[in-house]
Structures are given as structure tokens and as C-alpha cells.
Amino acid sequence: MSIEELISAGNIHPFKATHEEIDKAMAIAERDLKLAENIVDESLDWSYSIAYNAVLQACRAYMFHRGYRPAATESHKTSIEFMKLSVDAPIKTTVEYFDRVRKKRHRTVYDEVGLVTEKEAKQLLSKAREFLDYISEKLSEE
């Protein structure tokens, strides 16, 4: 899959975002990650879900920065696919991990209580922080 194929399939659209829109998406990402860190001892499931949302918002910020936005349908899946095509090689493994998180988060929100372990929640918090830092760096250098 390529970015051109994502466009042809209608999964992403060209989009001229303002700096404010990009900054707002990153602000949401930071807000969500801080909240996820704060509630990890209270609710593993919600901490995991909110940390995932922080990652998703960072993906959206980077997509906006690159001149695209996800379509309304399957936007989570599409955002992850876009990032797999767009990030530096060392981060691709992390993005693939986030794709697995996306699937588990869906089950956690809609299907099953108590699915997330403490280890999984804390691992996601750590990887989400690294990812937000990476995206912030990419946004500042390009």
C-alpha cells in the first residue's frame, strides 16, 4: 500500500491544515497522554484507551502536517496505515505495535471489561510518550 493508493481508495484526502489545527491535535494528544498516565492505577482499560487516543491524535497532527486527513470511515485504521508509510524505519515497529493496540482497544471499549494488564497499560504509556516526542520533533524540523 502507498499513500497514492490510500488517496485512490478514498481513505485519505488532501488537506491544507493550519498551524492551529496541527497544534490543537498535538495538544489533545498531550492532554490525553497525561490523563492516561494519571489514571493508570485506577483503570487499566481506560488508561490504555486514552493512551491509544493520544497516539491517534499525534498521527492526525502528522497527517495534517503532511497535507492529508483521514476519511470519516475507518479513520483509526487509515491513520495507522498512513503512519506506517510515513515514519522513519526505527519507528515503523512502534507503529505496527500501535496497530495491535488499536484492535485490543476496540475490544476493551466495546466488548470486554478487564482485558488490559498492568504491563500492557504501562508499556503503551511508555511507547506513546516516545511516539509523541518523535512526532513533536518531526513537526518542528519540517
Residue 142 has what pLDDT?
A: 64
Residue 88 has what pLDDT?
A: 87
What are the sequence ranges of the domains in the chain? Answer: 3-141
Kindly report, residue by residue over 60-114, the tens digit of the pLDDT. 999 999 999 999 888 899 999 999 999 988 899 999 999 999 999 989 888 888 9
> CA 132 to CA 4: how far, in whole Å?
25
Domain at 3-141: CATH code? 1.20.120.330
Kindly report, residue by residue over 11-70, the tens digit of the pLDDT. 999 999 999 999 999 999 999 999 999 999 999 999 999 999 999 999 999 999 999 999
Residue spans of beta strands (DSSP E) within 1-52: 12-14
Residue spans of beta strands (DSSP E) within the chain: 12-14, 68-70
pLDDT-derived band at 141 (thresholds 50, 70, 90) equals confident
